[in-house]
Structure 1
């Protein structure tokens, strides 16, 4: 479970409640079933109208990906592993990697190395692996687009809910006390819609895109690393190439590790 995400959602909700309390607003006005029905059911309907059935039914799985704190591969560890594989391949030949492949946990790396060991041409391997990466990227983009659609619909439905509430309020102009309460309740729908759109849905879409980016970045490192092993490149040259695919903070980590290793060697 991704506790940090849950903390973020709770913090957003608390910000609204505490803000209303500080401003002197009656917090109990947030308990508005009519507004909740308009926003939640309306947003679900908007998403249903935006995607075909088979994609809509994948939403629970997307939530699972979102809230599951899956420990991704450390790109620095992947580069180190590729260097070790390159060293083995240079010393004992590509066929020697057969003994190592079974011990590798990452399925993408395992498939990549199996194709290399099987003697498949480099251009074909690159094409196959790029197709796999692009397919995964498209699948992830779909998951994020569901939340983007919800984030676009919810605030507009909030305005719709406010209009419906005001229509009801204008029908009770003779009761001043009730009128004020109904107007306040009418704008709760707008609050719900903005909260669902800009504190929940759009941030969830951004988080899914970020998770996808991290996973695909590691896959591209594996792709280039495995093809470099097949080409018989020097392990140090492979490290230099792959480190260039990292962000500056990750590069610094590898540089420091290499420096420590050199120091111990001396």
Structure 2
């Protein structure tokens, strides 16, 4: 489970709850069915109006990603994979790689190498792989946009809820006690709208964008690796080329690990 999401949600609810208590407000004030209806159902209605149903069907899966980030091939694993494939290609030839495709877990690497083995030229292979990256990026963009829009609608609906509450409060001008309760209830909608918009929906959209960026960068690494093998580059040259995708602090450790493996392999 993604720890930062759990910690963030916990701190968010704790901050609002503790803040209300410190200000002397009752937590029971948050239980306002009318405000909850306006914010939750209103936000859902706005999102339904903004996006087609086939895109909204993916929302449960997107929420699951926030709590459990999908397994993505790491950058170091990509480097190791292409160094191994380059070594085999140099010793046995590109066609011999076909017998090793089943052992490759990442489908994007497997697809790229199959295109190379099938004899596609470099421009054709690059075009197909980049089209797949674009399609993936666009799908991720739409998923994040759903939550971005929800985060935009919710605070505005909070203002709408406050207006509705104030209209009800104006009907109780003769009863001071009811008037006070009505005004307090009116601003609960604003609180819920701002909270859901800026503590839930916008941060969820941001996290989805970051996960997408990470996956896209790894796919771009894979394209570079596939084209390098097709061009007949050496394992060391491929390593140097792909190491630029790693943070500087990790490059030295990666080189040392590969040197140890080479030493053990020749021993």
Normalising by structure 2, we get a TM-score of: 0.93
Determine if contact 2:129/2:223 at 8 Å carries over to the other structure: yes
Extract unaligned runs of 5+ from structure 2.
none
Moved more, 25-34 or 143-152: 25-34
Distance 1:248 1:194, change over 3 A: farther
Corresponding residue number in structure 1 for 2:115 = 115
C-alpha deviation, 1:197, in angstroms: 0.5
Alignment of 1:205-216 (within 5 A): 205-216=205-216
Moved more, 144-153 or 179-188: 179-188
Distance 1:195 1:252, change over 3 A: farther
Distance 1:254 1:195, change over 3 A: same
Corresponding residue number in structure 2 for 1:38 = 38
Corresponding residue number in structure 1 for 2:169 = 169
Q: Aligned partners of 1:88, 1:130: CA distance in 2, in Å?
A: 25
Corresponding residue number in structure 1 for 2:140 = 140
C-alpha deviation, 1:246, in angstroms: 2.8
Corresponding residue number in structure 2 for 1:102 = 102
Alignment of 1:7-18 (within 5 A): 7-18=7-18
Moved more, 55-64 or 17-26: 55-64
Determine if contact 2:140/2:209 at 8 Å carries over to the other structure: yes
Q: Aligned partners of 1:211, 1:249: CA distance in 2, in Å?
A: 21
C-alpha deviation, 1:249, in angstroms: 4.1
How big is each residue's C-alpha offset from its partner over 1:179-216, in whole Å with a ceiling of 9 and x where there is no partner? 11211111111110011100000000011111111111
Distance 1:216 1:29, change over 3 A: same
How big is each residue's C-alpha offset from its partner over 1:123-162, in whole Å with a ceiling of 9 and x where there is no partner? 1000000000000000000000000000000001011111
Aligned CA RMSD, in angstroms, stands at 1.9
| SS of residue paired to 2:119 | coil
| SS of residue paired to 1:102 | helix
How big is each residue's C-alpha offset from its partner over 1:36-72, in whole Å with a ceiling of 9 and x where there is no partner? 0000011011111111222223322322333333222
Q: Aligned partners of 1:33, 1:7: CA distance in 2, in Å?
A: 27
Corresponding residue number in structure 2 for 1:124 = 124
Determine if contact 2:75/2:245 at 8 Å carries over to the other structure: no
Distance 1:107 1:261, change over 3 A: closer
Does residue 251 (structure 1) correspond to residue 251 (structure 2)? The answer is yes
Extract unaligned runs of 5+ from structure 1.
none
How big is each residue's C-alpha offset from its partner over 1:80-127, in whole Å with a ceiling of 9 and x where there is no partner? 111111111111111121121111111111111111111111110000
Q: Aligned partners of 2:250, 2:197: CA distance in 1, in Å?
A: 33
Q: Aligned partners of 1:260, 1:64: CA distance in 2, in Å?
A: 39
Question: How many residues are aligned here?
Answer: 266
